[in-house]
Structure 1
């Protein structure tokens, strides 16, 4: 029976069993059909499984395809893509012999590669820190997401709050918080930095965030009420006095397509940066850039750390570029049987 290599990476953490698990399948020497990839994804039964291949498009280093356990192919650039690039660098599959930039202050070496995903070729930045030991933030990946888009505002925030076990007063930041002056303008809204849309729900406190009780059928009703293309609900609250120089938030993500809470959702964190900028919460520096830090997965014991950088480009035309930044750690590897293509998915 033909077997191919796989790896499981915990993404957005340098500590094993604390990141968001991703199955990565090396298909450089295999010709898999869509059915075979879907069967393998269902077998791993993680939130996503990503396959990497030789590129088909000019200028790309690798082609990537990513699937959910239900067979749906996804094109968002979140943990499913960042984790693959972390592994490619960590396993020395990438050529890291000639950095295009060296930061003398941090001793970080920067490399740029290009991925083919959904028919588009986009850049990925790899940073390798020489001064830090292997396995502890030695490799960081910075990945460009699609241009952010704002969609519908939820028509009934009070009903939304009740559906997740909270009150209307829990929606938005409180006047007493550091960001409370903007509370009135922060409403639940659908945002996207990919083909996947998420309903972003600002909450008043970490306590409210932890009390949220999201039920699948009620969540589906609320998503349909605002946008029938919305994939999930991303609730977040400000972390007071985080001390890392970035605006810092704690978040939770739920989707009707997932059996449990998602430990880290890069596509939603990227959307959050654009949402906060549009509402005046995220301020830009002299380089027209601003960063946020998102802690996610704490309620499920995962403790993921996602950094998002938003940059305003162009000559005042307001073009936003969103990059998510994170690391990973390998927890296992092996070989898996290639399923029979005639098997019904």
Structure 2
């Protein structure tokens, strides 16, 4: 017996770029957790996501994502956004009645809900008229470019700063001078220095590390054992290392801040091409420390990732700031699309197999 799967490159409209994601159709709800882990190990991608009927009535689908090592993760990044892009383009969603429509911009919006662990979170599917798309945004014949997905991450949590940035820098081949933004960027944005800190907008915590230049970012060389030690020093629940640096603005950046980033985790076999569960926290981190401009209570950020592994990805992040009483509430939304690259059937692992 077998079960259907699809491979999607997420955060790109070009096949064989983006962050590859294996998506498995478990709508029959027939797979055990062990079978899901074995299938994820077989694909050996950064994550494999299974979609199935929800166990709570308010959700449209339940999504479960696994790493090749069998660990289940609950972050809302490429593993979630890519599934919803596929559900929308492959006919698994009812797109007959939009929740809202902006005729002037040719955009229809549909709201669905996803079950991720114990959380039920909204998902926005945007269908954009082709004549409203900018040049170069055409997809393949069977993966229309007019579908874009926006997912809401949970409110950000801020954790420890790394106690020894110099040691941290040395662990991946850089120096203390390479940690932090360049003097010019820091002066233009804020007098507050940026220090490596663990931040999360999911159940997954990442260590965010500002790097002084693109050149330094490209020189970084991460080794698993050294990374494990540095993560344990700052937070024993920290999962990954996210290195980032600002890029020059371009005429078509539409007021968004643009950063280039790289992500490493001991649970992954190599460098991750795109990491939504780190891009979301980055927006909140930059805002908290005075490095993200807010216009009308909204800040926008674009992250380029995957360059060093030949998989250029673009992630759009919107940070909304509201005040309730004396408290400030931050909402993080991640946006992007994808492109289908493969589909087929994978054999069902025997129920007698152990992971």
User: In the alignment, what sits opposite 2:56?
Assistant: 57
SS at match of 1:177: helix
Is structure 2 residue 156 aligned with structure 1 residue 157?
no
Distance 1:283 1:177, change over 3 A: closer
Task: State the 1:242 CA deviation.
Answer: 3.1
State the distance in 2 between where 1:78 and 1:313 align.
Answer: 23
Q: 1:262 and 1:227 mapped to 2: Cα distance?
A: 21
Structure 2 counterparts to residues 252-267 of structure 1, below 5 A: 252-267=262-277
Do residues 234 (structure 1) and 242 (structure 2) align? yes
Corresponding residue number in structure 2 for 1:93: 92
Q: CA deviation at 1:30?
A: 4.2
Q: Which residue of 2 aligns with 1:146?
A: 154
1:315 has 2:320 as partner = no
Q: 2:194 aligns with which of 186, 190, 197?
A: 186
Which sections of structure 1, spanning at least 5 residues, go unmatched?
none
Q: 1:201 aligns with which of 209, 231, 249?
A: 209
- Contact between 2:305 and 2:312, CA under 8 Å: does it hold in 1? yes
1:304 pairs with one of 283, 305, 313: 313
Deviations 1:259-303 (A, max 9, x none): 1100000000000000000011112111x1111000000000000
Q: Distance in 2 between matches of 1:178 and 1:160?
A: 21
Matches within 5 A, 1:1-345: 2-131=1-130, 132=133, 135=143, 137-177=145-185, 182=190, 184-243=192-251, 244=253, 245-286=255-296, 288-316=297-325, 317-345=327-355
Instruction: Return the offset for 1:146.
Output: 1.1
Q: CA deviation at 1:185?
A: 2.0
Residue 119 of structure 1 and its aligned partner are, at CA, apart by 2.0
- Cα deviations across residues 135-162 of structure 1 (Å, max 9, x unaligned)? 4631110000111011000000011111
Contact 2:40 2:47 in 1 (8 A): yes
1:314, distance to aligned residue in structure 2 (A): 4.0
Give structure 2 stretches of 5+ with no counterpart. Answer: none
Q: State the TM-score, normalizing by the size of structure 1.
A: 0.96
25-34 vs 151-160, greater mean Cα deviation = 25-34
Residues 232, 254 of structure 1: 8 Å contact kept: yes
Deviations 1:60-113 (A, max 9, x none): 111111111111111110000100000000112111111111122320111000
TM-score, normalised relative to structure 2? 0.94
Alpha-carbon distance, 1:179 to partner: 5.5
CA deviation after TM superposition for structure 1 residue 183, in Å: 6.5
Q: Count how many residue pairs are aligned between Structure 1 and Structure 2.
A: 343
Asked if the contact 1:179–1:281 (Cα under 8 Å) also holds between the matched residues in 2, the reply is no
CA distance in 2, matches of 1:226, 1:185: 18
- Contact (CA 8 Å) 1:172, 1:183: kept in 2 or not? no
Measured at CA, do residues 182 and 158 of structure 1 come closer, stay the same or move farther in structure 2, by a change above 3 Å?
Answer: farther
- 1:164–1:214 contact (8 Å) kept in structure 2: yes
2-structure distance, mates of 1:299, 1:183: 31
RMSD: 1.4
Q: Following the alignment from structure 1 to structure 2, what is the Cα–Cα distance between the partners of residues 4 and 180?
A: 54
The 1-side partners of 2:66 and 2:111 are apart by 25
Q: Does the 8 Å contact 1:239/1:250 carry over to 2?
A: yes
